[in-house]
Amino acid sequence: MVTGLLARLVAAAERQTARRRARISPGELDRRVAAAPPPRDLVAALAAPGLSVIAELKPRSPVKGPLTGDYQPVERALAYVRGGAAALSVLTHEEGFGGRVEDLAAVRAHVGVPLVRKDFVVDEFQVREARAAGADAVLLIVAALTPRRLAELTEQVHRLGMTALVEVHDAAEARTALAAGARVIGVNHRDLRDFTLHRDLTARLRPLVGAGRPLVAESGVRGPRDAGRLYGEGADAVLVGETLMRSADPAAAVRALARATALPRTP
């Protein structure tokens, strides 16, 4: 059962989806999906040597409030790419994070790296809407879905040519993600049910995820020191939001994270 903050965020996403669904016909959505630019390969983008950075765009946090006084998603995205971001995560959740699907479409027109739609996705409409807006990948959260629903949405994401970045919080969820066919696993150190942080999750889950599948470490990355530690523990990439959104020089901040590969990997 989905509980706590996660349940409230999912409910808000469902309200947002209902409003957006009412404004577009199925035929128009089909037309936009067909007209969308071809998906870019997130797995390939994360395969480069060293630590890849997925830089996140979000104007606020549902717990910490505003992260920037002037949210300009395209300008911020361009700065991230200048800094060497391998991919971008774009929050489209309105009530909790202040994002919009339109932000995703705007960024897609200006950058050449893969874009992840980050939201609380529980519905096929959200997946198709992501593709219509130019998303190359979609975040799916195991804790927000039944195993059957996760498998159905993962299959739909892949059928549309995108990549499912499947987010887990423990070993049981990691097994569920693998059984659903996840090609990229995101290990979220922050439990969205109570917002507690568990910094050892990447090290614990890397052996379970296996060496042949990219692992993205999410949440709690405050700078190069954290990024380097996670790389040493087996992360192929870090997804960083708050730290980069608060930075006065986001390009330099991304560059510093990407260089944080000094620690040896755990065998």
Catalytic residues: 56, 58, 118, 167, 188, 218-219
Query: Contact at 8 Å (CB) between 124 and 153?
Result: yes
Kind of pairing between the strands at 52-57 and 163-168: unpaired
Distance CA 75, CA 263 (A): 32
Sequence-distant (≥ 6) Cβ neighbours of residue 183 within 8 angstroms: 43, 158, 163, 164, 213, 214
Burial 172-203 (b: 16+ CB within 10 A, else e): ebbebbbebebbbbbbbbbbbeeeeebbebbb
Nearest to 244 by CA among 107, 53, 70, 49: 53
Q: How many residues does the chain have?
A: 267
Amino acid (1-letter code) at residue 161: G
CA distance to 20, 103, 191, 201, 267, per residue, from 207 (Å):
40, 36, 20, 11, 10
